[in-house]
Amino acid sequence: MRILIAEDDPVSRAVLRQALDTLGHQVIEAADGRAAWTAFQQSPAEVVITDWMMPEMDGLELCRRIREVKCPHYVYVAFLTVINGKTRYLEAMDAGADDFLHKPLDREQLKARLHVAERILGLHREVAQLRGALRFCPGCKSYCDDGGHWEPIEKLLEPALHAEVTPRVCPDCEARLARAAAD
Beta strands in the chain (DSSP E): 2-6, 26-30, 47-50, 76-81, 99-102, 136-137, 142-144, 150-152
Confidence of residue 160 (pLDDT cuts 50, 70, 90): low
Helix 107-132 × helix 10-22 angle, to 10°: 70
Most confident residue range from 98-112, 131-145, 159-173: 98-112
Confidence of residue 131 (pLDDT cuts 50, 70, 90): low
Q: What domains are there in the chain, each with its CATH number?
A: 2-129 (3.40.50.2300), 135-182 (no CATH)
Lowest mean pLDDT among 62-71, 87-96, 101-110, 138-147: 138-147
Residue pair 16/22 in contact (Cβ under 8 Å)? The answer is no
Nearest to 3 by CA among 124, 118, 128: 118
Q: Please tell me whether the overall predicted TM-score, pTM, comes out greater than 0.85 for this model.
A: no
